[in-house]
Structure 1
Amino acid sequence: METRIALIGIIVEDGQAAEKINRILHDYSRCIIGRMGLPYREREISIISIVMDAPNETISALSGKLGMIPGVSTKTLYSKLPKDESRK
């Protein structure tokens, strides 16, 4: 199956969303290469970066599920590297 490298940027404006975010990220943990979270206390938001190596459908599904949580915004950036057909 073809996979892509992607970065999902997440802005969390509602701290109550943390439990839902973590539950969803756990469901996709097999595809997540790394995660970095930055609390921006002065603005009362959190910024999370998720790096994935997964099929397009999986990346889109994760981004979409996160973006449907109230108080959460996402944006996905894909690598221009050729798709990897060797991972199955």
Structure 2
Amino acid sequence: MDTRVAVISIIVEQEDAIEELNTLLHEARQYIVGRMGIPYRPKGISIISIAIDAPQDVISALSGKIGRLKGVSAKTAYSNVITPAEGGTK
């Protein structure tokens, strides 16, 4: 299956959601290229950026699951960098 490079931007407003968020990210670890987390203590939030290279449906599913967590918002930006599956052509 073709993979696509994307960035998922996450803002965590409720600390209770962090454990479940980390579980979701752990489950997707094979696709995650990098992760940057910034605790913004004066505002009481965490800002997380995930670089991912995965099939489109995997990215969409992960972003959707993250966005459904209470106290968490997520947005995904997709690149035009698509890697064809082995044996595929593009």
The interval holding the TM-score normalised by the smaller chain is over 0.9
Show the counterpart of 1:28: 28
- 2:13 is the counterpart of 1:13: yes
- Decide which structure has greater helix share: 1
Rounded Cα–Cα distance in structure 2 between residues aligned with 1:57 and 1:36: 23
- 2:63 is the counterpart of 1:63: yes
CA RMSD in angstroms, aligned pairs only:
1.2
- Decide which structure has greater strand share: 2
Rounded Cα–Cα distance in structure 2 between residues aligned with 1:21 and 1:39: 15
- 2:3 is the counterpart of 1:3: yes
Matched-pair identity in %: 53
> TM-score, with normalisation over the residues of structure 1?
0.94
- Aligned residue pairs total 87
SS of aligned partner of 2:80: coil
> TM-score, with normalisation over the residues of structure 2?
0.92
Deviation at 1:86, TM superposition (A): 4.2
Task: Specify the structure having the higher radius of gyration (Cα).
Answer: 2
What are the Cα deviations for residues 52-73 of structure 1, in whole angstroms up to 9, with x where unaligned? Answer: 0000000000000000000000
- 2:81 is the counterpart of 1:78: no
Gaps of 5+ in 2: none
